[in-house]
């Protein structure tokens, strides 16, 4: 599904990704861990193709196509999707309108809105005055409408209360076809998480630890998260330095 090869990315002249390698197969869910500023969101934005994230080396292959220099909308049309951690507000553009313009039927829009308990926000301006939790749900809602083959989900649970985490987890499971047998799953996802709450509800196949723009460790996501919880990222740094020497 996705191959990231030796990806180096700059933002305003500063290197934020330093040689990322990542492979995600069809139907797989991966998790990204890492301290603030490690480059997790930057990796998402680079995969999505946002102009501020300039690829200086390496390439991104999506569904066997080199997308390294494609604009975001063409990537989206190929089947990439992203949910933002901090989305911008769109004045005068209604959530419902976005669904309609994506070409989705009324029935689907209503169904997903109900799933995420968003009915009250359908006719509001996208993200304008939304609470933290509402924003997250609206992001996942838009992803569901879009139905991407690879979903990049940035901190879906931060700032969300317990009840809404369940709603979001259900929606992500649906998005990633977790209700289907493994072999029938076609959709893949990458989830960034700090709290790990989402891991209890959405099973992931593989975890990666990002530090200082590099993937320094990969493995079983639950085990990795438990280690991080126990010892903090500091121990990860030590471990990583050991492997380097």
Number of residues this chain uses to bind other proteins (CB under 8 A): 26
Q: Which residue has the tokens 């990537």?
A: 75
Q: Which is nearer to other proteins, 50 or 233 (CB)?
A: 50
Q: Which is nearer to other proteins, 19 or 72 (CB)?
A: 72
CA separation for the pair 45, 152 (Å, rounded): 9
Contacts of 117 (CB under 8 A, 6+ apart): 137, 164, 167
Q: In the chain, where do the E strands start and end?
A: 2-11, 14-24, 29-33, 53-62, 65-66, 80-83, 150-154, 188-192, 206-211, 214-219
- Is 82:152 a contact under the CB 8 Å cutoff? yes
What is the smallest separation between the CB atom of 168 and other proteins, expressed in angstroms?
A: 19
- Binding flags for other proteins, 112-151, as an x/- string (CB under 8 A): -------------x----------------x---x-----
Site for other proteins in 44-73 (CB under 8 A): 48, 50-52, 71-73
* Coarse DSSP helix, strand, coil percentages of the chain, rounded to the nearest 5 percent: 40, 25, 35
Q: Which is nearer to other proteins, 19 or 87 (CB)?
A: 87
- φ and ψ of 184, to 5 deg: -90, -5
- Binding flags for other proteins, 145-184, as an x/- string (CB under 8 A): -x--------------------------------------
CA separation for the pair 98, 122 (Å, rounded): 10
Site for other proteins in 78-107 (CB under 8 A): 80-82, 84, 87-88, 90-93, 98, 101-102
What ranges in 49-83 are assigned the alpha helix state H?
72-78
Q: Which is nearer to other proteins, 129 or 181 (CB)?
A: 129
Q: Which is nearer to other proteins, 77 or 238 (CB)?
A: 77
In eight-state DSSP terms, residue 94 is B
What is the smallest separation between the CB atom of 123 and other proteins, expressed in angstroms?
A: 10
In eight-state DSSP terms, residue 138 is H
Q: Which is nearer to other proteins, 138 or 217 (CB)?
A: 138
Q: Which is nearer to other proteins, 56 or 101 (CB)?
A: 101
What is the smallest separation between the CB atom of 81 and other proteins, expressed in angstroms?
A: 7
How far lies 231's CA from each of 8, 99, 209, 228, 238, in Å?
A: 29, 43, 14, 5, 11
Q: Which residues of the chain form contacts with other proteins (CB under 8 A)?
A: 48, 50-52, 71-73, 75-77, 80-82, 84, 87-88, 90-93, 98, 101-102, 125, 142, 146
């Amino acid at each position: 599904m996705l191959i990231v090869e030796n990806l180096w990315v700059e933002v305003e002249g500063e290197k934020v990704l330093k040689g990322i390698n990542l492979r995600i197969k069809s139907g797989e869910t991966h998790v990204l861990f890492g301290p603030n500023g490690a480059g997790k969101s930057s990796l998402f934005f680079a995969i999505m193709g946002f102009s501020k994230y300039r690829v200086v080396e390496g390439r991104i292959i999506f569904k066997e196509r080199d997308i390294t220099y494609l604009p975001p909308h063409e990537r989206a049309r190929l089947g990439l999707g992203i949910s933002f951690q901090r989305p911008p507000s769109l004045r005068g553009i209604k959530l419902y309108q976005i669904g309609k313009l994506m070409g989705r039927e009324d029935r689907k829009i209503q169904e997903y809105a109900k799933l995420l308990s968003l009915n009250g926000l359908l006719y509001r301006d996208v993200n304008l005055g939304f609470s933290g939790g509402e924003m997250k749900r609206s992001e996942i809602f838009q992803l569901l409408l879009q139905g991407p083959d690879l979903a990049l989900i940035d901190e879906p649970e931060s700032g969300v209360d317990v009840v809404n985490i369940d709603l979001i987890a259900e929606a992500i499971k649906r998005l990633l076809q977790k209700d289907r047998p493994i072999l029938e799953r076609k959709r893949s996802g990458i989830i960034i998480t700090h709290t790990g709450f989402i891991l209890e509800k959405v099973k992931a196949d593989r975890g990666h630890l990002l530090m200082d723009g590099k993937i320094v460790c990969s493995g079983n996501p639950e085990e990795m998260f438990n280690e991080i919880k126990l010892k903090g990222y500091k121990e990860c740094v030590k471990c990583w330095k050991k492997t380097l020497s």
